Amino acid sequence: MIDGDSACIRVADMKVNLDKKLAAILFQYADKKVADPVFSDLESGKLREESKLLGEGVAISAHALISMQPTKAGGSEFQMLLEDVPGIGKTKIERFLKHFLKALLTTTYKEIGSVKDIKTYPSASLEPFASKTLRDDLEKGTLSFIELTREFPIKALDELPETGKIVNSIKIKPKDKPQGKQAIGFINKITNYGKIHRFDDVKVVFKRADDQQKTVNFSSLREDAGDICFGKVEKIEVDHILKQCVSVIDVKLIDKMKSLL
């Protein structure tokens, strides 16, 4: 349980292949504070709200595939692929892993010449793997501006769908021209502001070292905005519907993910 017992993250399922040195993990997250889902009839517009029961939270899940072979011989760095699901990004999973490792693997040792027990435990850090082009952009390019956009329906113009919405956008320019981690931090702060103030979309514009302009668009619901801008993201396709939350590992999805390791 996390966030004052209002949310929970757990490992719902796990499969380990010792021969291929791969581990598939299904992370599941539920939050009591998330609003109840509402469904609308496409023809009548009638709404149906599905209320949470006592102790329940709106749930989502994300698959992860981890190579148990270190990236360097004798090293402690491993590759992991994480399904991109808004609301359960690497920040929540990293927090969970650190708590999990501390709770299960805390031990003690004594320094030479000391009688006092010292506690120790392993920790984990999830870092995005940036593609070469985006890494160069981050190190040598400059952040130009960020634009937040949201749409408002106009009830008086419901019969005119081509003019049925007002688009509201704001443009934020940094005082300096941040790079690297400073740029990621700035983007995450503005994205969080957009999410709080109900902006739907985020557009990040920055210039590469060769003065060419690059634009990246993503949803304000994204927890780790820096990853989509500067991390490596791959697209895979499956021939079935991926549900919002599952309790058993989707083997077909994992098989597709294996091709990327």
Backbone CA torsion sign across 56, 2, 25, 219: positive
User: What is the distance of C-alpha 210 from the center of its chain?
Assistant: 30
Length of the chain equals 261
User: What is the Cβ-side half-sphere exposure of residue 52, based on CA atoms within 13 angstroms?
Assistant: 14
Instruction: Report the helix count and the strand count for the chain, using DSSP H and E.
Output: 5, 12
- What Rg, from alpha-carbon coordinates, does the chain have? 22
Structure tokens belonging to residue 78 = 């491993």
What is the reported pLDDT for 211?
78
Helix axes of 132-140 and 180-196: crossing angle, nearest 10 degrees: 100
What is the reported pLDDT for 230?
61
Higher pLDDT, 225 or 30: 30
Beta strands in 32-73 (DSSP E): 38-40, 47-49, 58-67
Q: What is the DSSP letter of 38?
A: E
Higher pLDDT, 166 or 52: 52
Question: How far is the C-alpha of 226 from the C-alpha of 129, rounded, in Å?
Answer: 11
Segment 206-242, tens digit of pLDDT: 887 777 788 877 777 766 666 666 667 788 889 999 9
Q: Does 115 have pLDDT greater than 60?
A: yes
Q: Do 11 and 123 fall within a single domain?
A: yes
What is the reported pLDDT for 3?
77
Q: Does 246 have pLDDT greater than 90?
A: yes
Q: Do 110 and 134 fall within a single domain?
A: no
> Among residues 122, 91, 117, which one has the least CA distance to residue 104?
122
Helix (H) or strand (E) segment spanning residue 212: none
Q: Do 147 and 86 fall within a single domain?
A: no
Q: Do 123 and 246 fall within a single domain?
A: yes
Q: Do 134 and 121 fall within a single domain?
A: no
For the chain, the domain total comes to 2
Q: Do 79 and 143 fall within a single domain?
A: no
Q: Do 143 and 89 fall within a single domain?
A: no
Segment 86-112, tens digit of pLDDT: 888 888 888 888 888 988 999 998 888
Q: What percentage of the chain reaches a pLDDT higher than 70? A: 87
Q: Do 111 and 20 fall within a single domain?
A: yes
Which domain does 106 fall in, by range?
Answer: 1-127+236-261
Mean pLDDT over the full length of the chain = 84
The confidence band for 162, taking pLDDT boundaries of 50, 70 and 90, is low
Q: Do 64 and 78 fall within a single domain?
A: yes
The confidence band for 21, taking pLDDT boundaries of 50, 70 and 90, is very high
What is the reported pLDDT for 205?
87
Q: Do 143 and 210 fall within a single domain?
A: yes
Q: Do 149 and 61 fall within a single domain?
A: no
